[in-house]
Amino acid sequence: MDTTTTPLTLHPFTLADAERMLSGEVDPLDGWEGGYAFTDEPELLREYVQAVRETGDPAPFGPYLVRRASDGAAIGGVNLFGPPDADGVVEFEFGLVPAVRGQGLALHTVLETLALARSAGAAIARAGAEIANLPARRVLENAGLVEVARAADTVTYEIRL
């Protein structure tokens, strides 16, 4: 089931999506404004296919396509890793194509991801960002996540849901 906010939709990635992309088929609905696509990350696609075949569809966890609501173009992705661990933590990561950065869509993406994690029973959502990636860090902070750890090149953020 798609999850829609204004101005975007999170569309659950499917086994059929992954297999199609691995075979080189491009669906005009993929959009991929700016030229980015999951096909640029074949290892992610292969891992997803293998996981689905071994353990079944991870929904509501797993990868999502971020689509712009106005025209349906795929503008990025989210991966919601789950189910929650023993402490109720679910990790996620997100990315948008360069062509749409600076439009506030990343904040909408993170907020919708947090809502998904909450509805799936997570008590805490966690995400990391490279120290040098100030825009991603600001998006996480603006969504209410706070820094809980720092390594040589990454910052880890969390929020209680």
* For residue 60, cis peptide bond before it (omega within 30 degrees of 0): yes
Which has the minimum average pLDDT: 12-21, 111-120, 125-134?
12-21
Torsion region of 128: left, alpha or beta (phi above 0 gives left; psi -120 to 50 gives alpha): beta
The predicted-structure confidence for 92-127, as pLDDT tens digits, reads as follows: 999 888 888 889 999 999 999 999 999 999 999 999
Measured distance CA(56)–CA(81) in Å, rounded:
14
**Residues contacting 133, CB < 8 A, separation 6+:** none
Starting from the edge strand earliest in sequence, which strands make up the sheet with 3-5, in order? 3-5, 8-12, 62-68, 74-81, 89-96, 124-130, 154-160, 146-150
**In the chain, pLDDT over 90 holds for what percent of residues?**
48
Query: What does pTM read for this prediction?
Result: 0.87
If you average pLDDT over residues 140-146, what whole number do you get? 98
At 147 the pLDDT is 98
The residue among 116, 118, 107 whose CA lies nearest residue 142 is 107
Contact between 63 and 78 (Cβ < 8 Å): yes
State in Å, rounded, how far the first CA of the chain is from the last one.
22
Predicted pLDDT of residue 25: 72
DSSP 112-130: HHHHHHHHTT-SEEEEEEE
At 6, the pLDDT band (50, 70, 90 cuts) reads: confident
